[in-house]
Structure 1
Amino acid sequence: MLPTIEKQFADSLKSIARNLEIKEYIQQSPELYPLFLSSAKRFVTGESREDGVSIGDKLIHKGYRISLEFIGENTINKEECVRAKDEFIALVKECGNRGISSRVSFDLSHIGLSVDPELAYQNLLEMAKEAQSYGISLMISMEESAKTDLILSIYKKVVVEYSNVGVTLQAQLHRTLNDLNELLNYSGAIRIVKGAYQEPPDICIPRSDKLDQRYLELVELCVKADHQISIASHDEALLKQIIERGYLQNPYVEAEMLYGILPELSKQLKDDGLPVRVYLTYGVEWYLYLCHRIAEYPPNIYVAITDAIHGEKDSSQLY
């Protein structure tokens, strides 16, 4: 596909991903569900906690750091939010009891933000306390820009009490430079992503050299402040600049890459002695996650089709 067509395809897929009717149709179809699940297995460890923990353990023994997430977001039922919180606590306990050093990542909208910010805050406090007792860190993911103020507000309240909680920032938003300068006053780790959400053009920087320069500027600010940072990107040209500048030699800095995306690059960085964290997901809500992985890199559609035809792949073998 030509680049313009790829962008149109990616934008369309992001819209389709949010269409609940399409999602429910696929999930209820005995023909389509297993095909889509086979495609998802390249990017998702599986549907159970054991799937995520087991593959995470394999990667740790290969020399990687890991981050685990029970997939879900925009939960609009209080009981489901509480169940999600309980699952994250169960994940923390299982990793802790098995001696698996993991970071646990999540969306605040999975544990209550879309229902009541106070519910999300209280659930996060409970998770943070449990994680701290096991020496496990938490990472709040960033969501649509409309939620940014709420997410950062909750983070700032929690991190004062629990320094094992970190937060994600999207380089594409104009506001992020100011947000980062403020967050450097807090102790939690910061993860920087380019940003995968469709946002109004007046509040964000499109994919461009300008966005790459903003990303590097944000990373440099963290490095100079000796602040713990995860560089979450699969942009090889950008990572090359980061490596050339020596940022990954800093003890507070690591590269973070999504499971199943460019595993050969993760392996190369790790084999070069650089710190690499692999972001692993599990759960039945993999449909939206799969759509995002394809939308972020449209050529993945060919991989998804191949996997659907020939059966699921265990991406852990590629690391």
Structure 2
Amino acid sequence: MIPPIANRFVAGESPAEALAHVRQLNGHGVNGIVNLLGEHYDEREPAAADAAEYRRLVADIAGSRLGACISVKPSQLGLEIDESVFRRELEEIVAAATERGVFVWIDMEDHTTTDATLDAFEAVARERDGGERSSSDHRSDDGVGVCLQANLRRTRADLRRLADVPGKIRLVKGAYDPPSDVAYTDSTRVDQEYRTLLEYAFEHYDGGIAVGSHDPAMIEHATALHDRYGTDFEIQMLMGVREAAQYELAEEYDVYQYVPYGDRWLSYFYRRVAERRENLRFALRAVLSS
């Protein structure tokens, strides 16, 4: 069982607990992006097991009629074993999800996996769609999307490359501490790049933009761009972070919360606590009051 100190950031250990959390979110007008915790597998068995659980999760979401989709990590599906393993597992998950009308997000990991991740995204997106980006295809409930990181120097070119791919794009500031020769390391520079990427996407994409940020300034910039261009978009935030703001934003915009679950919750919890002082204060208060 996940202790109270961690259950602010992780929905539980089972799919049922994760979907129960999504049901509560839906009551506030917020959708869920459900993620089974797991990554960096170097053996085939755990990758295959997690892929099978994702296919069952797709069936559970479809049967529940909840406002929810799923998100997978390439290294969880076998990318570190071989790119062909990752491709095969991803294709089977996307096929199952397409059949049941459930959207699939592909998370982005460290910069060494970017090419393999984007190539796989483009391949499955074009295969399931059979054509180029259109106003109906890329926003469909049974589509596929991928994450781009603003701190990577290559991302402007990647965003241009993917403009005609029939899938969604999630823009985040980025993590994983990549080296300075491939990434911007100054936070002000990353913010500037994030704004520039949003501006390009809202101007040149016909929708399918996900703003993955807790930064009020970036969300305000995105809403202003939406007002200027009329481009459809959604806001994505993590479970346990600015949840009151998520409910408030959901009154006007499409909002999704990233909902992780599973028995590999400990390392994920530590990352959430370490990345923001507000999360650290929450954890300390929980320890002191227990």
Same fold (TM over 0.5): yes
Q: CA deviation at 1:278?
A: 1.0
Q: 1:230 — aligned with what?
A: 210
Query: 2:179 matched to 1:213?
Result: no
Alpha-carbon separation, structure 2, partners of 1:288 and 1:198: 17
Match of 2:241 in 1: 261
Task: Kindly report which structure 2 residues correspond to 1:1-319, keeping only aligned pairs within 5 A, or say none.
Answer: 37-163=3-129, 164-224=143-203, 225-246=205-226, 250=230, 252-271=232-251, 273-310=252-289
Task: Give the secondary structure class of the aligned counterpart of 2:286.
Answer: helix
Closer, same or farther in 2 for the Cα pair 1:125/1:248, shift >3 Å? Answer: farther
Report the CA distance between 1:158 and its aligned residue: 1.2
Tell me how far apart the structure 1 counterparts of residues 190 and 260 of structure 2 sit (CA, whole Å): 27
Q: Distance in 1 between matches of 2:274 and 2:44?
A: 30
Q: Do 2:239 and 2:257's aligned partners in 1 also have CA atoms closer than 8 Å?
A: yes
Contact 2:226 2:233 in 1 (8 A): no
Over the residues paired in the alignment, what is the CA RMSD in angstroms? 1.8
Q: Describe the SS at the equivalent of 2:127.
A: coil
Number of matched pairs: 276
Output the CA distance in 1 between the equivalents of 2:24 and 2:229.
25
CA displacement 1:120-172 (0-9 Å, x = unmatched):
11111110111011111100000000111111121122111124111100000
Equivalence for 1:9: none
Displacement after TM superposition at 1:58 (Å): 1.6
Does the 8 A contact of 2:150 with 2:173 survive in 1?
A: yes
Q: State whether residues 226 and 232 of structure 2, in contact with CA within 8 Å, keep that contact through their aligned partners in structure 1.
A: no
Distance 1:170 1:98 in 2: 32
Cα deviation, residue 285, structure 1: 1.0
Flag the structure with more relative contact order, 1 or 2, with Cα contacts below 8 A and sequence separation at least 6. 1
Preserved CA contact (<8 Å) 1:248 1:274 = no
8 Å Cα contact 2:202/2:229 also seen in 1? no
Q: Aligned partners of 1:299 and 1:285: how far apart in 2?
A: 23
SS across alignment from 1:168: strand
- How has the CA–CA distance of structure 1 residues 120 and 196 changed in structure 2, closer, same or farther, with 3 Å as cutoff? same
Compute the TM-score of the two structures, normalised by the length of structure 2.
0.90
Runs of 5+ in structure 2 lacking a partner?
130-142
Residue 251 of structure 1 deviates from its aligned partner by: 5.4
In structure 2, distance between residues paired with 1:134 and 1:248: 35
